Structure 1
Amino acid sequence: MSEQTIALVTGANKGIGYEIAAGLGALGWRVGVGARNEERREAAVTKLRETGVDAFGVPLDVTDDASVDAAVALIEGRAGRLDVLVNNAGITGSAPQMPTTVDPATVRAAVETNVIGVIRVTNAMLPLLRRSASPRIVNMSSSVGSLTLQSAPGAEMGPISVAYSPSKSFLNAVTVQYVRELRDTNILINAACPGFCATDLNDFRGVRTPAQGAAIAIRLAALPDDGPTGRFFDDAGEVPW
């Protein structure tokens, strides 16, 4: 793209989201740091700017219509369009998540953020994405959302989780439906698995760094115009839905 690429990363004030913003900024892109918490959001923007990233804060609660609408207005006012949307904001939900004993509110909260939040933000940003010459959408999923991997004989895909894992399966299914509807457009839409990264979502038990987890999202955000769409990737290649 001849103009500076404009990206928005949700949940970008820390962890994998921050590293995605940093990686996109290192490409010379202008990056919106979407986050609910004002103090952490502005601290992330300051830190990114200190490393040379053209970053700006975007107050954004993906579960709130008014917040998302305000984010659209902010980006439109600053850039007039959006080239890349990385739907990274997510929660694991409170534990335990055994299906026979879970509080239904735990499942509802995970779906509200991890699925409905993605739909809310994507639909709101689509008019801005349609103004881009090469729009990209990256949905941050997880291999634990792969029904193929989860149901394989002898599969060890982490603890039993009736909120978080199915919310990522739901997100994968939603991603496919967007691809079906938008297949005649130039919007490339893919899902990304960052791997088991050490973040506060898992009490830093992960074996990969947030920067390692961000790499696949950065690659999918920067796909060429003839790149894949409607696929699910991790660092090693394609992940089965």
Structure 2
Amino acid sequence: MKIAFVTGANKGIGLETARQLGAAGWKVVLGSRSTERGEAAVAELTGQGLDVELVQLDMTNPDSIAQAAATIQARYADLTLLINNAGMPGAFSSSFSTTREEDLRQAFEVNFFGTFRLNQQLLPLIRQNEGTIINVSTDMASLHFMQHTEYPLNCFDYNASKTASNAMTTAMAIELRDSRAQVFAVTPGFTKTDLNHNAEGGQSKEAGAAIIVGYATDGKRHNGEFLDVNGICAW
């Protein structure tokens, strides 16, 4: 049985990623900070005939992360896919000068430190199972993209936390060079979600999730890559 763990999966791209993996025959462990919302998401997906179970996970709480990792190791020891989708925008600041330290710290707590903790605790299992870790990223994490886009969204709190996550991806990938396990980053691109208040002009959650699921299940080795819908991105 193929088992995937998707964090932040009670809504948005995470929920749709869980749905698409389930439809492709995966057993999906759905990570959600809110037990109530997580149970509602599980009920929705199981009602569609999918094999989905809930693990409560608060990415800002080290004890919650440790408990979730222990549950995965004990109950889902055959895990071969971890998708780190959980994220938050800080205040989605409009410039460096208007960024508040508290918002920067909040974005880093989830997007970097929480993801770091979970990755570090589950990496041995993924390595053992020759599996895959995907750190969900954003175009705006790319320093190259931000320097060569005419009107970049200069959301320093959110962007910086995701750039740090990209650095974590490369560090993990170096460690897995001689392993059959892999880790890489995927940006689904501009997608309408609660994170950006369902901004106009974005693609659907279904389209964004399909990019993540496509790379997760294509059977190719992407270790250390940063990927978008068109292929490899510049860091």
Q: How many residues align?
A: 234
C-alpha distance after superposition, 1:187-207 (max 9, x if no partner):
111111111111111111152
Q: Are 1:34 and 2:34 counterparts?
A: no
- 2:139 corresponds to which residue? 143
1:198 matched to 2:192? The reply is yes
Q: Determine which of 203, 214, 228 is the counterpart of 2:222.
A: 228
Residue matched to 2:208: 213
| Cα displacement (A) at 1:157 | 2.4
| Counterpart in the other structure of 1:78 | 75
DSSP-derived class of the 1:113 partner = helix
* 4+ long deviations beyond 3 Å: none
Contact 1:62–1:68 (Cα < 8 Å) also in 2: yes
Match of 2:99 in 1: 102
Give 3-state SS (helix, strand or coil) of 2:224's partner. Answer: coil
1:24-75 Cα shifts (integer Å, max 9, x gaps)? 1111111010010111100000111111211000100122221112112222
Is the alpha carbon distance of 1:98 and 1:156 closer, same or farther for their aligned partners in structure 2, counting shifts above 3 Å?
A: closer
Q: Which ranges of structure 1 fall in alignment gaps of 5 or more residues?
A: none
Report the TM-score, using the length of structure 2 for normalisation: 0.94
- Structure 2 distance, partners of 1:142, 1:95, is 13
Q: What secondary structure does 1:31 align onto?
A: strand
Of residues 92-101 and 66-75 in structure 1, the stretch that sits farther from structure 2 once superposed is 92-101
1:185 aligns with 2:184: no
2:157 equivalent in structure 1:
163
- Separation in structure 2 between the aligned mates of residue 140 and residue 166 of structure 1, nearest angstrom: 14
Contact between 2:65 and 2:114, CA under 8 Å: does it hold in 1? no
Residue 134 of structure 2 aligns to a residue whose secondary structure is strand
The alignment partner of 2:165 has SS state of helix
Q: Deviation at 1:81?
A: 3.1
Distance in 2 of aligned mates of 1:97 and 1:74 = 39
1:163 is paired with a residue whose SS is helix
Q: Deviations over 1:155-209 (max 9, x none)?
A: 2222x21101111111111111111122111111111111111111111115211
Give 1:239's aligned residue. Answer: 233
User: Which residue of structure 2 lines up, in the alignment, with residue 53 of structure 1?
Assistant: 50
C-alpha contact (below 8 Å) 2:2/2:78 kept by paired residues: no
Q: Is the 8 A contact 1:138 1:191 kept in 2?
A: yes
Q: Which runs of 5+ in 2 are unaligned?
A: none
Q: What letter matches 1:27 in structure 2?
A: A
TM-score (norm 1): 0.92
Amino acid at match of 2:134: V
